[in-house]
Chains A and B, each alone.
Chain A
Amino acid sequence: MRELTIKDLHVSTEGKEILKGVNLTIYQGETIALLGPNGHGKSTLLNVIMGHPKYMITSGTIELDGQDITCLGPDERSKAGIFLGMQYPAEVPGVINADFLKAAINVRNEKPISLYNFYRVVDGTTKELGMPLDLANRFLNEGFSGGEKKRNEILQMMILKPDFVLLDEIDSGLDVDAIQSVANALKKNQTPDRSFLIISHYARLFDLVTPTRSLVMINGRIVLEGGMELIQKIDKSGYEFLKLEHGIEIEKEAETMNQISIGVCATRERF
């Protein structure tokens, strides 16, 4: 029985502490709804589990099946069965979707997948998600609408078949039909050997996908656990009740001045 355990995790980035002692165990077969206002660490938690280099673990561990994975790179965590559907999937210029998917599949198999099987899998999954069939030949996420990018994340999840699926606002930017097709795909993939940790602000997705438990994250910690009733309560009246019923103060972010740049011709940038 697989298990992903986070023990007293403290994480900082750019000198600021974001996760302030997260404790969580994801059991095999669960679907967990992760709720909470923006800026309180939900996205950070998912990215840290996947191994994003910009986050530094200052204390605590992440254990997969009892083994500490904090020293593993994102590729090794992916091969171990973890998948992250990102909030803002990267547009990687010049990299063809098909080349990327094939490489991701081949990393997990002893023999490289045959072209025939590859296109069989990709076309089948693409059709199921209602995505354009020329998807495989386009550049990775380039020119994709927000909704298409999110569905491309689900496409990859369906092809790679991970055991722990982390979804960061998979429904944002999707219209009603798209949410339905994503939810259908998720439901089909909610098998006893697969766990989901889903961040969303909309009760609608959870109506369709039915979580087994719900967690609320405030101030970089998980503060509350419940069932569907928690989702419905937050959907109806927001997070105010946390202070009234549980004495939890929601720290507001200090407003920082936006830096203004007067256009330059040359940039030192990340491509």
Chain B
Amino acid sequence: MERTSVSKLIKNGELVFTQQDSFSYVLDSAELENVSSLVLKKGARINLLLLDDAATKLKIVLKENSSLDFKSLNTFEIKNSEKTFDLRANTELKLSFADFSAGKGVEKVTVNLLGRNAKCNWFLSSISTQKDNKEFKVSINHIAPDTTATVDSYGVAKDESRLVFSGVSHIQTNAQKSKTKQNARIMVFSRDAIAVAKPILKIDENDVQAGHAAALGQVNEEHLFYLRSRGLSENEAKTLIIMGYLKPILRNFEDEEIKQKIEKLILERV
């Protein structure tokens, strides 16, 4: 996996991408240590992979007609963090978070759809184990009309951990013809694990489409029986089921090495 350095693009704590910059970057926490904001200038199309994201506060701005495919793979300690994305007109933001972090923390992500036709898709696969206590607060604000957002969060809570998916999708007045969807699903694996889903919709405009769904529960007994009836042990069956549940996020990561790393991580945690 080749890495192009971004140090040349950083000035005064601001990392700026323009249309001329190459397409893909892999960043780790060291490179973002002094960066507090990321700017995509007009027309920039950037693919960013953040490994072990330690950024505690980051503001990302997408100027008109730019697009950002932001992927994050977290395997170390979770930290309280706040990321705000400001999207101008005709921008597209794809957020894929593969979370295998440990510990206690709240990751807050806020997306402001400020310009017409701005679009955002959020995808999260998260596992909490042992005594983890993790919350993902994903809020979307539809401020301009014709904006679209989807939030899909999938989680697995094991042992005595606590996993919370929360956030508000707010369609403000004058954001007509906006569409917003929230989907929070957490599978619970033990009696002591806690899963909380709070997908909240706030609608202040009439001509819009909005929906939310939450599903929390244990592994489907019928699925477990089906796999076991073919000879798979309870553990093997549960592993296959969890893998199947969390693997879809792999589709969002193109790099083969990363895909394999994520798959291995899922297997380890399970």
Within 8 A of A (CB), among B200-259: 212-223, 225-234, 236-237, 240-241, 243-248
Q: What residue in chain B is nearest A141 (Cβ atoms)?
A: B226
For this complex, into which size category does the number of interface residues on chain A fall? Answer: 35 or more
Instruction: Please pick, from B221, B237, B247, B248, the residue contacting A53 in the complex, using a CB distance under 8 A.
Output: B221
Question: Measured between alpha carbons, how far is A265 from B212 in the docked complex, in Å?
Answer: 7
Q: Which single member of A52, A53, A78 contacts B230 (CB below 8 Å)? A: A78
* Chain A residues, CB < 8 A from B246: 94
Q: Are B217 and A268 in contact, CB atoms less than 8 angstroms apart?
A: yes
Question: Which residues of B sit under 8 angstroms from A132, Cβ to Cβ?
Answer: none
Question: Total interface residues on B, using CB and 8 Å?
Answer: 35
Report Cα–Cα, A94/B222, bound state, in Å. Answer: 15
Judge if B151 is at the interface, Cβ distance under 8 Å: no
Check B225–A92 contact: CB distance below 8 A.
no
Write out the residue numbers on chain B whose beta carbons fall within 8 Å of the beta carbon of A234: none
Q: Which of B215, B240, B248 contacts A100, CB < 8 Å?
A: B240
Cα separation A95 to B230 with both chains bound (whole Å)? 14
- Within 8 Å CB of A186, what residues of B? none
- Min CB distance, A51 to chain B, in Å? 7
Q: Is the CB of A270 within 8 A of B248?
A: no
**In contact, B240 and A84 (Cβ under 8 angstroms):** no
CA distance A103 to B222 in the complex (A): 18
User: Do A75 and B217 touch (CB < 8 A)?
Assistant: no
**Contact partners of B223 in chain A: CB under 8 A:** 90, 92, 270-271
A84 to B222, CA, bound (A): 13
User: Would A271 and B229 count as touching, CB distance under 8 A?
Assistant: no
Q: In the complex, A74→B215 CA distance in Å?
A: 28
* Cross-chain contact B225 with A53 (CB below 8 angstroms): yes
State which residues 86-130 of A face B: CB under 8 Å.
86, 89-90, 92-96, 99-100, 103-104, 107-108
CA distance A269 to B188 in the complex (A): 11
Query: Which B residues are in CB contact (< 8 Å) with A52?
Result: 225
| A75 close to B197 (CB less than 8 A) | no
Cβ–Cβ < 8 Å partners of A84 in chain B: 229
B231 touches A108 (CB 8 A): yes
Check: B185 CB closer than 8 A to any chain A CB: yes
| Complex-state Cα separation, A242 to B233, whole angstroms | 43
Within the complex, the shortest CB–CB distance from B238 to chain A, in Å, comes to: 11
A221 → chain B, closest Cβ, in Å?
25
Nearest chain A residue, comparing its CB with the CB of B242: A94
CB distance from B189 to the nearest CB of A (A): 12
Q: Chain A residues near B227 (CB, 8 Å)?
A: 92, 95, 100
CB–CB A269/B215 < 8 A: yes
The reply on A227 being an interface residue by CB < 8 A is: no
- Known contacts: A86-B226, A268-B216. The answer to whether A103 contacts B245 by CB under 8 A is no
Set of chain B residues within 8 Å of A103, measured between Cβ atoms = 230, 232, 236, 240
The reply to whether the CB of A160 lies closer than 8 angstroms to some CB of chain B is: yes
- With A265-B213, A271-B220 as given contacts, are A104 and B240 in contact (CB-CB < 8 Å)? no
How far, in whole Å, are A103 and B216 apart by their CA atoms in the complex? 28
Contact B214 A265 (CB under 8 A): yes
A49-78 to B contact mask, C-beta < 8 Å, 1/0? 011111000000000000000000111011
Is B187 among interface residues, defined by CB-CB distance under 8 A?
yes
A88 and chain B: residue at smallest CB distance: B222
- Complex contact A266–B197 (CB within 8 A): yes
Given A269-B215, A270-B220, decide whether A94 and B243 contact each other with a Cβ distance below 8 A.
Answer: yes
A86: chain B residues at CB < 8 Å are 226, 229
- Kindly supply a per-residue 1/0 record for chain B positions 42-77, scoring 1 wherever the CB is within 8 Å of any chain A CB and 0 otherwise: 000000000000000000000000000000000000
CA distance A248 to B117 in the complex (A): 71
B binding-site residues for A, Cβ under 8 Å: 185, 187, 197, 212-223, 225-234, 236-237, 240-241, 243-248
In the assembled complex, 17 residue pairs joining A and B whose CB atoms fall closer than 8 Å, in A order, are: A54-B221, A75-B237, A77-B229, A79-B231, A83-B229, A86-B229, A89-B226, A92-B223, A92-B244, A95-B227, A99-B240, A103-B236, A108-B231, A160-B230, A160-B231, A266-B215, A269-B217
Q: Which residues of A contact B (CB under 8 A)?
A: 50-54, 73-75, 77-79, 83-84, 86, 89-90, 92-96, 99-100, 103-104, 107-108, 139, 156, 160, 265-271
Top 4 nearest A-B pairs (CB, nearest first) are: A94-B244, A95-B244, A270-B220, A90-B226
